[in-house]
Structure 1
Amino acid sequence: MTFSLGPKATSAGYRLAAFDKVGSTNAEAMARARTGERDPTWFVTTEQTAGRGRRQRVWIAPRGNLASSVLEVMDISPAVAATMGFAFGLAHATALQRVSVEANLRLAGADQLQYLLKWPNDILVRGQKLCGLLLEAEAVTDGRLAVVAGIGTNVIAAPEGTPTPATSLAALGVHVGAEELFAALSDAWVEFRGIWDNGRGFGEIRKLWLDRAFGVGEPVAIKTGTATVEGTFDTIDDTGCLIVRTAEGKRMPITAGEVYFGTAASLGAT
């Protein structure tokens, strides 16, 4: 089976660049933008050899896993572009829910899974990391912004020894292929990109994201450089910042950092 766009993505005019193996789908997408690509385009592979996560961490996708990135070139500011990641996370969580429901229909008695969004860029199942998202933006020659949203999904295998324990769809009993998941993702992205609407619909995206958010109301610790902020995960604001309510009742906006919930948070994210 080969990669193909879903029918909604095809109708919406998306293009597809599929690779047997590639270094990084995000890097490939941004390189195309620098050389003049302006059409919305997906870049996808089942084997990624030089992928990157946040803070330049290595993210390798062994053959059979899914690495996919979408390129959108828009006339928006970097601050607005940053909110696109929430819509993209929602699209992928929705695609995962849809394909796992289909898998459950094929496998009677399979447990229903919840795909939860961990701020700012992970999808968790049963507290374990299934996907990691990376959003990048760069100004291009016509004055617009090239925004690349990439996500790596553990379809058949998950790395070991990660800060947050990782899992895969196969380990969860969801037996779908990367190609099937990608087609569902490309269609779900059309839906959520439409809601997001170049940032104009972020209010609705924020509500939908909070409905799927991991850890709301729970203890949280965020490491930002050399400092650690501790409190309760209250919400996200209208710019996408995480709002922490401290023990003193102060609401602190967090723009970036390493987020720890539960026991890790109570120990000061050590």
Structure 2
Amino acid sequence: MAAGFNLSPTAIAAGFRLETFAEIGSTNALALQRAAAGEADKLWLVTDHQTGGRGRRGRPWVGQKGNLAATLLIRPTVEINAAAALGFVAALALRDALDVVLPRDRVAIAPDGGDLANGGRFTLKWPNDVLANGAKLSGILLETSGVGTSDVAVAIGIGVNVVDHPSGTPYPATDLKEIGSPCSAGELFFALSDAFVDNLRLWRDGRDLSAVRDKWLRSAAGIGSQVAVDLGGRIVRGVFETIDADCHLVVREPDGRAIRIAAGDVHFGAVASVRDQ
């Protein structure tokens, strides 16, 4: 068992539970195993040393000792497609938690000169990244099991670069230590467990995404800027206008057409302006 991880009183009162690990391969993989075995709702699996983490599209997520890897296993009474918005809920909760643990006198300035005014010190990069100083601080991965609405289980995996970050990544990365925060993985998780309660309530069991959408847009990175979205082989280029009622990305192409995108890798600024090779 890893020391230093605790749930907030608000999370405990809301029925959340916690298991911690000194080291683990993947918190998401274990959560899905537990789900298959009948594990109940609202279980956090947390470590500061994940050795086999993974990101979107099967990419490895490198987790150095001291970084945060946390997965929340929940069983929402919604269809799997509706559960996809939980990634936005997780991003909002993490952004709120970061605002608690980072010293208030620090101001984020994007290294590429981008505008962070809408999101303050931390911004949200569609669909599932949290940025600090314009660089990737965290990734969020949703994995599901079950069908219909009676046995759906969702593993919400959150990896945060607390003391170290990978180099040579397609998108610039950073960590909390680098930007001047002295907080530990345990301190960040405590704030995250607290913030998740309110943001999960905002989701209203998937009945209405408007509050989630509105709050997400207030912290969105890149609105009004040029983006390139990799759809797994096809690149869509244009201006990032908004996200729609289903939290899909809306890109206005040069010919004026609005394209709605459910999944893809987004790049901003100079990268978005490079023509396909």
The TM-score range, normalised by the shorter chain, is: over 0.9
Alignment of 1:187-266 (within 5 A): 187-266=194-273
Q: Secondary structure in 1 aligned to 2:6?
A: coil
The answer to whether 1:25 aligns with 2:27 is yes
The question of whether the paired residues in 1 share the 8 Å contact of 2:78 and 2:149 is answered with no
Kindly report the root-mean-square deviation, in angstroms, between the aligned alpha carbons of the 2 structures: 1.5
Q: Structure 1: how far apart are the matches of 2:268 and 2:147?
A: 38
Query: 2:241, 2:251 within 8 Å by CA — same for their partners in 1?
Result: yes
SS of 2:30 mapped into structure 1: helix
Gaps of 5+ in 2: 109-120
Matches within 5 A, 1:37-48: 37-48=39-50
CA drift of 1:142 comes to: 8.7
1:78 to 77, 80, 88: 80
What are the Cα deviations for residues 60-95 of structure 1, in whole angstroms up to 9, with x where unaligned? Answer: 211100000101112211111001111110000110
Question: Is the alpha carbon distance of 1:187 and 1:241 closer, same or farther for their aligned partners in structure 2, counting shifts above 3 Å?
Answer: same
Q: In structure 2, do the counterparts of structure 1 residues 91 and 268 end up closer, same or farther at CA, with 3 Å as the change threshold?
A: farther
Which residue in 2 is equivalent to 1:65?
67
> What is the identity, as a one-letter code, of the residue corresponding to 2:74?
E
Q: Does the aligned pair in 1 maintain the 2:139–2:158 contact within 8 Å? A: yes
1:37-57 CA deviation, whole Å, 9 max, x = no partner? 122100100000000000000
Q: Number of paired residues?
A: 263
8 Å Cα contact 2:26-2:52 kept in structure 1: yes
Instruction: State the Cα deviation string for residues 154-188 of structure 1 (Å, max 9, x = none).
Output: 10001110111111100000110100100000010
Distance (whole Å) between structure 2 residues aligned to residue 240 and residue 136 of structure 1? 18
Check whether the contact 2:79–2:149 (CA below 8 A) recurs between aligned residues: no
Which amino acid counterpart does residue 133 of structure 2 have in structure 1?
Answer: R
Query: For 1:187 and 1:269, how far apart are their aligned partners in 2?
Result: 44
Q: Percent of aligned pairs with the same residue?
A: 44
Q: Distance in 2 between matches of 1:121 and 1:41?
A: 21
- CA shift, 1:98, in A, is 0.9
Q: Deviations over 1:199-237 (max 9, x none)?
A: 123111000000000000100011112211110001111
Partner of 1:152: 159
Q: Partner of 1:197: helix, strand, or coil?
A: helix
List structure 1 runs of 4+ shifted beyond 6 angstroms: none
Q: CA deviation at 1:111?
A: 1.6
Q: TM-score, normalised by structure 1?
A: 0.94
Q: Return the offset for 1:194.
A: 0.5
Distance 1:142 1:219, change over 3 A: closer
Helix, strand or coil: the match of 2:194? helix
User: 1:93: which partner in 2?
Assistant: 95
Cα drift, residue 144 of structure 1: 2.1
CA shift in 2, pair 1:269/1:255, >3 Å: farther
Task: Mark the CA change 1:140 to 1:10 in structure 2 (over 3 Å): closer, same or farther.
Answer: farther
Matched residue, 1:107: none
Contact kept? 2:252, 2:259, Cα under 8 Å: yes
Query: Which runs of 5 or more structure 1 residues have no equivalent in the other structure?
Result: 105-109
Tell me the TM-score normalized by structure 2: 0.92
